[in-house]
Amino acid sequence: MTADDARFLARAIDLAERGRGTAHPNPVVGAVVVRDGEVVGEGWHVRPGEGHAEPIALAQAGERARGATVYVSLEPCTHVTPRKPVPCAQTCSAAGVARVVTAALDPNPLVADGRELLAAAGIAFDVAPHDSPEAVRARRQNEAWRTWIATGRPFVTLKCAVTLDGRVAVPGRRWVSGPESRHVVHLLRAASDAVGVGMGTVRRENPRLDARDVPVARQPRRLAFGSGPLPEGSQLELLSGPLAEELAQLAAADVQSLLLEGGPTLAAAFLEQGLVDKLLLFVAPTLAGEGPPLVGPLAAPLDLHALESRQVGGDVLLTAYINEP
Ligand code: AOF
Ligand code: ZN
């Protein structure tokens, strides 16, 4: 991997983002065709049933694809579907491509390792080193899809707002975090396939859980986990079965991402069953002095990875993974 390889992969990853929102339930994928250091074709997967990223970029390149390198954010597919009779690996070979560089392997069980297919066609194949910035970005870009396709359950993000002393409520106040953080939460809801809370939170706050004051293509499914009844007029769906079974059913209905918004009992239940993949913690500059903790008692301490922080208004948003994609 040269610096140019990294740069063109980064471009492919950027292009993939143009399919965000429309490619679902497919992953977002971008491709760049480069000949003699010059970009001669670009493409991205717009929506299911329409072209994959590589054939679109290769069509743009035309004859210039011969001897070129294809940079693609996700490994070229090898499978055939009624709508797509030619796998992308084969399209690359037919176009006379010399080399394929990808940022992430495809965890879809339908997609076989493309290495052999490409090698048989005399195409060099490189995968970005697992911990390189491009590889990490490409996997995170499709983190929900990767978990959903590989495990048959949604990617679960636990989101909480806490005080500096780790409380999820402040006596006498309605909100823990500031308005900028609450805006980010509405963006997160709009980007999630489902949003859920526990029945404790439903009884206390009767939340709506819809995305408000942000552009929404499609409102998330709004879920309450636990035993009913729901309050009169609640628009939430009540899910009372074992969590793992409820998640499998959500996945079967194309729910790839679930945003959990508390509280401590539900958080502990999901964490104890290994069902949380990512934690988003909005930390507000307040000492509550008393109040419920972020998470109820756990059987054993839990270590997270890839901890990062960023400022959101007067709060700090901490991100960490339990299961990195
Ligand atoms: C690629 N390039 O642009 C995309 C890929 O239903 P299909 O036939 O469109 O296949 C979808 C699967 O193909 C998807 O789950 C993923 O494994 C792969 N997506 N592959 O080579 C692309 N979107
Ligand atoms: Zn493909």
* Residue 159 confidence (pLDDT): 97
117 lies in the same domain as 162: no
Mean pLDDT for 188-213 is 94
Helix/strand/coil for 38: strand
Residues pairing with 279 in the sheet: 158, 320
Looking at 110, 141, 172, which one is the last position of a domain? 141
Say which DSSP state 180 is in: H
pTM for the whole thing?
A: 0.95
Pocket around ligand 1 at a 6 A CB cut-off = 26-27, 29, 45, 48, 52-54, 74, 76-77, 81, 84, 88, 106, 108, 111, 149
- Which residue in the list 42, 54, 75, 134 is annotated as catalytic? 54
301 lies in the same domain as 259: yes
302 lies in the same domain as 157: yes
User: What is the Rg, in whole angstroms, of the alpha carbon atoms belonging to the chain?
Assistant: 22
302 lies in the same domain as 269: yes
119 lies in the same domain as 213: no
Looking at 141, 176, 205, which one is the last position of a domain? 141
Range of the domain at 244: 147-321
* Residue 45 confidence (pLDDT): 98
Q: In this structure, which amino acid lies at residue 161? A: A
What is the CA(85)–ligand 1 centre distance, in A?
12
* pLDDT tens digits, 277-300: 999 999 999 999 999 999 878 899
Q: Which ligand places an atom closest to the C-alpha of 87?
A: 2
Domain at 311, CATH number? 3.40.430.10
Contact 230, 202 (CB under 8 A): yes
d(CA 47, CA 52): 9
Looking at 141, 176, 197, which one is the last position of a domain? 141
30 lies in the same domain as 157: no
Minimal-distance CA residue to ligand 1 atom 13: 77
151 lies in the same domain as 238: yes
7 lies in the same domain as 118: yes
What is the CA(78)–ligand 2 centre distance, in A?
7
112 lies in the same domain as 189: no
- Structure tokens given for 241: 């079965």
- Structure tokens given for 154: 């949604």
Q: Which residue has the higher pLDDT, 83 or 173?
A: 173
- Structural domains of the chain, count: 2
115 lies in the same domain as 151: no
Catalytic (active site) residue 54: yes
- % pLDDT > 90, the chain: 88
**pLDDT confidence band for 80 (50 / 70 / 90):** confident
